[in-house]
Structure 1
Amino acid sequence: MRGNDEGAVRRRDVLAAGAVAGSAALLGGAGLSGTAVAADGGGETAAEPVTVITPSDKRYPDVVRGWNQRWVASPEKVCLAETTAQVTRVVQQAVSAGKRLTVRGGGHCWEDFVFNSEVRVILDMTKMNRVYYDPKMNAIAVEAGAELLNVYERMYRTWGVVVPAGMCFQVGAGGHVSGGGWGLLCRPLGLVVDHLHGVEVVTVDADGVARAKVATRDPKDPHHDLWWAHTGGGGGNFGVITRFWFRSPTAKGSDPTALLPQPPAEVLLSAISWPWQQMTKERFKRLVKNFGDWHAKHLGSGTPNDHLVSMLSLNHKSNGYIGLVTQADATAPGAEKVLDDFLTAVTAGLGIEHEPLSVHMGELPAMPEFVKPRKMPWLQAARYLGTTNPTLNDPSLNGDFKSAYYRTAMPDPHIDRFYQQLTRDDVGNSTASVMLSSFGGQVNAVAPDATAAPHRKAAYKAAWMIWWTDRADEAKCLKWIREFFHGVYAETGGVPVPNEVTDGCYVNYPDVDLSDPVYNKSNVPWYTLYYKDGYPRLQRVKAKYDPHDVFRHKQSVQLPKS
């Protein structure tokens, strides 16, 4: 897929090489027999061959796995597409041959939705990574294979603008955006999908033919519901995303520098920690309660607190420390006071002095030089936070992850369970942790049903994580994270059901245990935890654009029951 000038620029330098977008689309075309291929062309040469890697190719071991080494596939081939026409052709061939096909973007899918034993053909989006201004759409186009840091680099250096997407540098646009897209600019700028103008998707119609469709934010667009489904409906549900177009709803004119928000020129970074040796149960409870209470009190938008985002890393005691990293817009009026007031509120009554954040923890790097808040250019800060954590850059790790949204300060029974699990003596894995991260602000300013990202009333998000290298450690690690997560929510059937305290789970942190009655004993199904009241609408989109359930995985949107 390319823009209007794509035939002329196909061989120009592309933005990013390597593994890109996260949990993208999945295909399984048994029973379909369509042979035609329909695409939007856009100056493409449909007959141009697709790069194909087979098991005899030395590159094969590298292209059949993603970031999480738990999941490795053994497909017949991996196809690297460069255009929408090529994507359409690969999809059609897989459907016509009855071959199960999955799509790899950034490779950050936390479950086996892409790399599994059933896949026969993997569609690799690595080459589709351009970021450019599209005058026809009057929007900045981002191909589905573009890595987030490269998106930031291109947008900011060229036009001085940004989309408020995620922190990890090598996460790809395709899966990240379609799942709603949390990031460090969420409180001042909202979610990335709040700036999504359009999306191009290759779908398989009722006649078995693969076709590329463009869907936009315009309510009069006949494909508007397809756009809506990609504002939080998750990857792997409706088709193969080939590109997005970004333009804020309030943007005027056709100047690319005015189509999206500008990030702050500088940010204030703060990184502090507390040693577990001094963290009594009461101090732990005070810290967690303070963090949640601040976010619940400042859930709404329109105050100076919109300009602050924070992450509290609650690590297992074998890490040695609990850490807090905070970023604030250094150019906002009273920025230093906003940050100081936040740190005062979070540490109130703690009774121990903080220390430098001297070890990496979860998805955060060691940042000892930021024990006193320091100013840093925004793009440099984004690169620093996204690339310097050895855990995120270690290609040998296996991992498991879970999530929950909170609307209030964490209740005492939940905190008690946190403390119990994080101080267990039979666990010695220093990567075991839960990250509490900011929500609210401008996220809260958008109606829950305006996009398919429904958790707009949440104050903060919790992400469980644990990594291991030796496969022999897998059972022990899974036992810990499952006992922890499902134990916290024992009173609501083992999951964070939407209620006055909790608000479900984040679809971009997929967790197949939510579908398992062994772990989810509530009467709330996995799809309600992810999508809340929006699931029936997603099912209608599924029925219209993927009536044969070609695009599917273990937790894909299901066709409505007839």
Structure 2
Amino acid sequence: MSTPRTTDDATQPESLKVTPHDPRYFAVIDKRFNKRFAASPDYIRLVSSTEQVMAAVEDAVREGLRLAVTSGGHCLEGFVCDPEVRVIIDVSPMKRIYHDVERSAVAVEAGATVGETFKALFDNWGVVLPLGEYPGIGMGGHVPGGAFGFLCRQLGLAVDYLYAVEVVTVGPDGRAIPVIATREISDPHRELWWAHTGGGAGNFGVVTCYWFRAPGAFGDDPAKLLPRAPESITTFKAEWEWRDIDAASFLQLLRNHGSWCERNSSADSSYASLWTLLEVHRRQFGKIIIRGVSTADAGAGRQVDELLAALGEGLPAPGGRELARMSWLEFALDPFPDLFGMPPGGVSVKVKDALLKKRLDDRQIGVAYEHLTRSDVDVMGGMLGFASYGGWVNTVAADATASAQREAILDMACTTGWLDRREEAANLAWVRAFYADLFADRGGVPVPGEACDGAFINHPDTDLADPAFNTSGVPWHTLYYQAGYPRLQLVKARWDPRDVFRHALSIRAA
């Protein structure tokens, strides 16, 4: 068994145990992104080392208490907030980011955020990983789900650079066992590494550290182990007024956008350096917004002009055009403030994700128009979003990692958000009906096939496991993992035989 990493201090104290009588308890509980769910564990363990994680896990197992793990608190479903969870292990104190000479890789502990990781990689070595869009996301739960972001079309997924992972697992006797698994073919623990390249968090153990190195990279210079950070970033934004859009022009806009994505989603496309997000808000919001990020330096303006011309063909020209150039780090630490900003106290959200191989067909566009313009509901936070995908993501074989969706060109999401709990029922009903109608010919879900590539586990949706919402006959795990699920089940049986690590969409042992 691999020796766990240790701190420099051999007399390290025990982890901090925080109960409901301690103000730090609520600091952990309240950091959750989705305010729809609220946790109430018996206690929280704040851990800062592998040894402390082991002790915290063994205590919970010995006490017979259900446990869950948190880092950044950005799970979209209530996995950590499940009422049956009595112990939360918070790894956010584990934030070291360093060059591991022995493994010739950059090590990132699970408690670091995406923003902290971007900053350390850039400041220390001038390199980057294609991590997610929001800097506050914790690495612990982000990476195992695949991890894609603004640079995915140019660089692929973050897990495509994952060399090794340290996981605290639990053996049949209840003892916590630290394991370091690598992508080396000769590694007897390699399947555990593979499971963390898209198998989702909270399934196999507590991740404490990741090591990243680009495939084919080698040597002692950390500046050469990962892709160089972009020379600069150019952001853009433009918008159409809903009052200028009718059913025909809406159809034209979504046709234009989807067709552009179909034409420009290969890895060798000159637009692989351009990431876009089309935000089709409900009519009551007033605007439809296109925004994005280019790493094409001097060519970015041309890319944006050509994109807007293609999207606006046959339509009124979009207004409010904004273009700005800045350093990569300036952007990465505060991307699109108007998009990611949260009101005081946060929001409750429901996200229903789908990965598309083709644009929406005309029937689906008509469905979208109907739901986005409905006047019989008041759902101000409702939106249909399209994030461009593909590019280098799709150069990796579907079974090389546990991220099986390697043919998609768009990550689409029906989303809604609300502030007042009294608005929850109306928002959930709207977003569920919208999503079900989009995929009505597939049993209400994006069944993998010619047009769809399933769903993304980092955007979990428990509705996919509910026969009331998924009438396709295709199980939820096929939507998320496709042909890789039996392999993940074997990893689960090997490394979590007691099913200590579980949630509503966790891997079930065979």
Give TM class, smaller chain: over 0.9
Distance 1:392 1:129, change over 3 A: farther
The residue identity in structure 2 corresponding to 1:437 is: A
SS in 1 for 2:55: helix
Counterpart of 2:503 in structure 1 is: 553
Q: For the Cα contact (< 8 Å) 2:237–2:289, is it kept in 1?
A: yes
Deviation track 1:477-524 (CA, whole Å, cap 9, x = no partner) reads 100010111111111101010011111111011100000000000011
Q: For the Cα contact (< 8 Å) 1:152–1:162, is it kept in 2?
A: yes
The residue identity in structure 2 corresponding to 1:171 is: I
Alignment of 1:202-217 (within 5 A): 202-217=168-183
The residue identity in structure 2 corresponding to 1:376 is: M
Distance 1:539 1:46, change over 3 A: farther
Distance 1:326 1:39, change over 3 A: closer
Give the CA deviation at 1:72: 1.1
The residue identity in structure 1 corresponding to 2:160 is: D
Q: For the Cα contact (< 8 Å) 2:16–2:45, is it kept in 1?
A: yes
Counterpart of 1:353 in structure 2 is: 317
The residue identity in structure 1 corresponding to 2:242 is: W
SS in 1 for 2:167: strand
Counterpart of 1:24 in structure 2 is: none
Q: For the Cα contact (< 8 Å) 2:92–2:138, is it kept in 1?
A: no
Structure 2: distance between partners of 1:45 and 1:527:
43
SS in 2 for 1:444: helix
Counterpart of 1:244 in structure 2 is: 210
Give the CA deviation at 1:46: 7.0
Give the CA deviation at 1:44: 5.4
SS in 2 for 1:481: helix
The residue identity in structure 2 corresponding to 1:400 is: K
The residue identity in structure 2 corresponding to 1:519 is: F
Distance 1:125 1:103, change over 3 A: same
Task: Determine which of 299, 303, 328 is the counterpart of 1:338.
Answer: 303
Kindly indicate whether residue 343 of structure 2 is the aligned counterpart of residue 377 of structure 1.
no
Kindly indicate whether residue 193 of structure 2 is the aligned counterpart of residue 227 of structure 1.
yes
Task: Determine which of 432, 453, 466 is the counterpart of 2:416.
Answer: 466
Alignment of 1:21-32 (within 5 A): none
SS in 2 for 1:555: coil
SS in 1 for 2:272: helix
Structure 2: distance between partners of 1:387 and 1:545:
41
Counterpart of 1:89 in structure 2 is: 55
The residue identity in structure 2 corresponding to 1:309 is: W
Give the CA deviation at 1:386: 5.5
Q: For the Cα contact (< 8 Å) 1:113–1:554, is it kept in 2?
A: yes
Kindly indicate whether residue 388 of structure 2 is the aligned counterpart of residue 424 of structure 1.
no
SS in 1 for 2:378: coil
Q: For the Cα contact (< 8 Å) 1:398–1:467, is it kept in 2?
A: yes
Structure 1: distance between partners of 2:134 and 2:87:
27
SS in 2 for 1:465: strand
Give the CA deviation at 1:343: 2.0
Q: Percent identity?
A: 42
Task: Determine which of 444, 449, 452 is the counterpart of 2:402.
Answer: 452
Structure 2: distance between partners of 1:77 and 1:387:
34
Q: For the Cα contact (< 8 Å) 1:309–1:438, is it kept in 2?
A: yes
Q: For the Cα contact (< 8 Å) 1:387–1:393, is it kept in 2?
A: no
The residue identity in structure 2 corresponding to 1:540 is: L
Q: For the Cα contact (< 8 Å) 2:67–2:500, is it kept in 1?
A: no
Q: For the Cα contact (< 8 Å) 1:288–1:415, is it kept in 2?
A: yes
Deviation track 1:207-245 (CA, whole Å, cap 9, x = no partner) reads 321111001111111111111100110011111110101
Give the CA deviation at 1:58: 2.1
Structure 1: distance between partners of 2:456 and 2:158:
14
Kindly indicate whether residue 279 of structure 2 is the aligned counterpart of residue 313 of structure 1.
yes
Deviation track 1:441-477 (CA, whole Å, cap 9, x = no partner) reads 1111111111111111001110222111111111111
Q: For the Cα contact (< 8 Å) 1:449–1:534, is it kept in 2?
A: yes
Counterpart of 2:450 in structure 1 is: 500
Give the CA deviation at 1:97: 1.4
Counterpart of 1:119 in structure 2 is: 85
**Gaps in structure 2 of 5+ consecutive residues:** none
Counterpart of 1:12 in structure 2 is: none
Distance 1:390 1:506, change over 3 A: closer
Distance 1:442 1:46, change over 3 A: farther
Deviation track 1:409-438 (CA, whole Å, cap 9, x = no partner) reads 210111111111100112333321121001
Distance 1:499 1:394, change over 3 A: farther
Structure 1: distance between partners of 2:340 and 2:451:
34
User: How much is the aligned-residue C-alpha RMSD, in angstroms?
Assistant: 1.6
Distance 1:233 1:372, change over 3 A: same
Task: Determine which of 75, 78, 86 is the counterpart of 2:44.
Answer: 78
Deviation track 1:21-62 (CA, whole Å, cap 9, x = no partner) reads xxxxxxxxxxxxxxxxx8554545476211111111123223
Q: For the Cα contact (< 8 Å) 1:166–1:182, is it kept in 2?
A: yes
Give the CA deviation at 1:375: 1.9
Alignment of 1:36-55 (within 5 A): 39-41=4-6, 43=8, 45=10, 48-55=13-20
Task: Determine which of 108, 111, 114 is the counterpart of 1:148.
Answer: 114
Structure 1: distance between partners of 2:303 and 2:257:
15
TM-score after normalising by structure 1? 0.88
Counterpart of 2:352 in structure 1 is: 402
SS in 2 for 1:227: helix
SS in 2 for 1:59: helix
Deviation track 1:125-158 (CA, whole Å, cap 9, x = no partner) reads 1201221111121111111111111111111011
Q: For the Cα contact (< 8 Å) 2:112–2:139, is it kept in 1?
A: yes
Q: For the Cα contact (< 8 Å) 1:126–1:146, is it kept in 2?
A: yes
Structure 1: distance between partners of 2:337 and 2:126:
21
Counterpart of 1:296 in structure 2 is: 262
Counterpart of 2:153 in structure 1 is: 187
The residue identity in structure 2 corresponding to 1:137 is: R
Counterpart of 1:283 in structure 2 is: 249
The residue identity in structure 2 corresponding to 1:112 is: G
Counterpart of 1:368 in structure 2 is: none
Structure 1: distance between partners of 2:12 and 2:295:
49
Structure 2: distance between partners of 1:160 and 1:386:
22
The residue identity in structure 2 corresponding to 1:492 is: R
Alignment of 1:153-172 (within 5 A): 153-172=119-138
Structure 2: distance between partners of 1:88 and 1:539:
23
Q: For the Cα contact (< 8 Å) 2:379–2:426, is it kept in 1?
A: no
Q: For the Cα contact (< 8 Å) 1:513–1:519, is it kept in 2?
A: yes
SS in 1 for 2:80: coil
